[in-house]
């Protein structure tokens, strides 16, 4: 789920202090996703929360479809969330021994840590597909 794109000025808010729903629901079937900028830092407009936001993913200047059978570059947590969804889908299809809770655990526990995300998202990182797919293997 997209963590949200800030307040009325476009500046990201701490959703630990000001929850935004549905992203702030504490549920085992939700992964709340922040927007990582092109520099590898949290995008200024992205919501964040060391407890309420799980992970960050690229969500800045992403080519997407728009109305009128066209394409454009878009930015926001709604562009970042599908990146994490793709990792989850790959893990779920590859790891037939995993249920959805195990997929969530694998993706978050194997996130690649970034210093720029410390204290801003729970995993302090971004998805690492290979690490998620092989999570728990000896």
* CB atoms near residue 121 (< 10 Å): 30
Residue 73 class from Cβ within 10 Å (0-12 exposed, 13-18 middle, 19+ buried)? exposed
Q: What does the block give as tokens for 4?
A: 């949200």
| The pTM of the whole model exceeds 0.85 | yes
Per residue in 71-102, pLDDT (tens digit) is 999 999 999 999 999 999 999 999 999 999 99
Spatial CA neighbour of 59 closest among 127, 133, 8, 112: 127
In whole angstroms, give the CA distance from residue 109 to residue 126.
Answer: 10
Per residue in 31-80, pLDDT (tens digit) is 999 999 999 999 999 999 999 999 999 999 999 999 999 999 999 999 99
Spatial CA neighbour of 56 closest among 131, 125, 137, 134: 125
């Amino acid at each position: 789920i997209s963590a949200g794109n800030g307040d009325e000025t476009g500046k990201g808010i701490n959703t630990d202090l000001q929850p935004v729903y549905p992203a702030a629901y504490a549920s085992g079937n939700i992964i709340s996703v922040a927007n990582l900028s092109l520099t590898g830092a949290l995008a200024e407009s992205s919501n964040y929360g060391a407890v309420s936001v799980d992970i960050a993913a690229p969500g800045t200047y992403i080519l997407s479809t728009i109305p009128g059978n066209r394409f454009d570059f878009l930015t926001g947590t709604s562009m970042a969330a599908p990146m994490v969804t793709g990792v989850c889908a790959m893990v779920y299809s590859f790891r037939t021994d995993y249920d959805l809770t195990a997929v969530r655990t694998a993706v978050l526990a194997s996130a690649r840590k970034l210093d720029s995300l410390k204290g801003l998202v729970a995993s302090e990182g971004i998805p690492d597909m290979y690490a998620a797919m092989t999570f728990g293997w000896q």
